[in-house]
Amino acid sequence: MKLAPWRARGSFAVVKAALLALALAACQDAAVSRALGAECTSDHECDDVCATGGAWPEGMCTLSCMSDTDCPSEAACITDQGGICAYRCQTDMNCRFLGPAYACKQTDQVMVCRGD
Amino acid sequence: MSRRLARSSPERARGTCTCTLAALALLPGLAAAEPAAPTAADELGEQGVGVAIGATSGGRVTPGGLRITGHYLYQLSDTDWFDGTASFTYGGGGAACFRDRSAQLVCDHGLAQGAGIELAASVRRVFEPHGGLRPFARAGLGFELVRFTDDHVSGVAIPLHLGGGVRTEVAPSVAIVVEAEVALGLGRFNQGLAAEPVFGLAIAAGVEFVLP
């Protein structure tokens, strides 16, 4: 059976839309997670702790740490709030994914993304 | 003596010919006497019920884990049966949703998390048997209530089911079934989650009974 051209185009558009939806779903913001980077207002929104205050605009899920080995490879352990992991960075651009209020700043001899 | 037996004669030739003709004449009768291979209708009956247990993979906003399914079969034609199912999926707990940096809720559940209850209507097409196994294919649409308790996320999903399996009779009116399927569709959830794709793979084994 041959479909009319407009019907064939319609079917193709539906397939394209479905594929696009699946691709978008697969490419959601993978940079942040419940462990590190997600927005939060309290600890229950995170795997471990929610860092809040001026240094962490909109809140940031992070992990308690005693040294860098307690943090994911993209993060360093800083002494804020008794020891938490923060994203390493080299320039402010590296911190844009956390929001416009974040910048790359030196803390404990390491450059990390933070707000103040 | 042996030379005499081996010697061919017109009487012996006539005797051989008569026996061959008689055997040929009996063949159709012998074939009819053999039991005919059971048809799909003989094996599945007009109506049947079944129960299967297996595992389904979830992820993101699709529940996964242990799955128990009840089947109701109703014959539609010589090869097709309506296969109505009620399934219960149960995975582990654990929160896996978070707000990304745009404050959008994102859920990233594992393969075996969440819970779901689903009703599905499918058509099962049964094929010719291979050995003692009768293969079948199944396609249908479901309606599922989904819940991820630790994230307070719940919603509904409309998955399309495509699968197949084999069935073998182990006793009169009793069969063992092994089946695999893929489910894909769309779900709608609370907590500000947008419409999300759902996708799952499932395997199950169970038993089916023909209703009298």
Chain B within 8 Å of A101 (Cβ-Cβ)? no
DSSP B143-186: EEEEEEGGGTEEEEEEEEEEEEEEEEEEETTEEEEEEEEEEEEE
pLDDT at A27: 42
Q: Are B116 and B94 in contact (CB under 8 A)?
A: no
Chain A within 8 Å of B167 (Cβ-Cβ)? no
CATH code at position B147: 2.40.160.20
Q: Are A110 and A88 in contact (CB under 8 A)?
A: yes
Measured between alpha carbons, how far is A75 from A69 in angstroms, rounded to an integer? 9
B60 and B105, same domain (yes or no) = yes
B181: which strand partners?
A: B163, B202
Distances (CA, A) of A115 to A89, A100, A112, B49, B127: 13, 9, 10, 62, 66
B54 and B7, same domain (yes or no) = no
pLDDT at B152: 92
Place of tokens 């407009």: A6
pLDDT at A35: 96
Q: Taking 50 as the threshold, does the pLDDT of residue B44 lie above it?
A: yes
Q: Taking 50 as the threshold, does the pLDDT of residue B163 lie above it?
A: yes
B28 and B112, same domain (yes or no) = no
pLDDT, mean of residues B172-189 = 96
pLDDT at A7: 55
Distances (CA, A) of B20 to B5, B15, B17, B25, B26: 20, 9, 5, 9, 10
Q: Are B162 and B138 in contact (CB under 8 A)?
A: yes
B72 and B161, same domain (yes or no) = yes
Measured between alpha carbons, how far is B195 from B212 in angstroms, rounded to an integer? 44
Domain span including residue B69: 41-210
Measured between alpha carbons, how far is A74 from A79 in angstroms, rounded to an integer? 17
Helix or strand holding residue B198 (H, E): strand B196-210
The rounded mean pLDDT for chain B is 87
Chain A within 8 Å of B152 (Cβ-Cβ)? no
ipTM > 0.90 for the complex: no
B54 and B27, same domain (yes or no) = no
Measured between alpha carbons, how far is B67 from B62 in angstroms, rounded to an integer? 13
Q: Are B210 and B74 in contact (CB under 8 A)?
A: no
CB spacing of B99 vs A45 below 8 angstroms: yes
pLDDT at A10: 58
Residues B87-119: tens digit of each pLDDT: 999 998 889 999 999 999 999 999 999 999 999
Count of domains forming chain B? 2
Domain boundaries, chain A: 43-114
Q: Taking 80 as the threshold, does the pLDDT of residue B16 lie above it?
A: no
Structure letter (DSSP) for residue A16: H
Indicate which of B61, B97, B100, B108 best probes the interface with A, i.e. most A CBs within 10 Å of its own CB.
Answer: B100
CA B199 from centroid of its chain's CA atoms: 19
Tell me what percent of the residues of chain B surpass a pLDDT of 70.
Answer: 83
Residues A56-95: tens digit of each pLDDT: 999 999 999 999 999 999 999 999 999 999 999 999 999 9
Q: Taking 60 as the threshold, does the pLDDT of residue A34 lie above it?
A: yes
pLDDT, mean of residues B176-188 = 97
B27 and B45, same domain (yes or no) = no
User: Searching chain A, which residue's CA lies closest to the CA of residue B152?
Assistant: A45
pLDDT at A6: 52
Confidence of residue B192 (pLDDT cuts 50, 70, 90): confident
pLDDT at A24: 45
Distances (CA, A) of A65 to A81, A84, B4, B91, B128: 10, 5, 107, 31, 63
Residues A72-81: tens digit of each pLDDT: 999 999 999 9
Closest by Cβ to A45, choosing from B98, B101, B196: B98
The rounded mean pLDDT for chain A is 84
pLDDT at B6: 41
Measured between alpha carbons, how far is B176 from B64 in angstroms, rounded to an integer? 24
Backbone angles phi, psi at B136, to 5 degrees: -150, 160
Q: Taking 90 as the threshold, does the pLDDT of residue B14 lie above it?
A: no
Chain B within 8 Å of A10 (Cβ-Cβ)? no
Q: How many residues are listed for chain A in this entry?
A: 116
B116 and B20, same domain (yes or no) = no
Confidence of residue B138 (pLDDT cuts 50, 70, 90): very high
Residues B21-41: tens digit of each pLDDT: 454 444 454 444 556 677 888
User: Searching chain A, which residue's CA lies closest to the CA of residue B59?
Assistant: A26
Q: Which two tokens stand for residue A81?
A: 């709030």
Measured between alpha carbons, how far is B82 from A15 in angstroms, rounded to an integer? 28
pLDDT at A31: 81
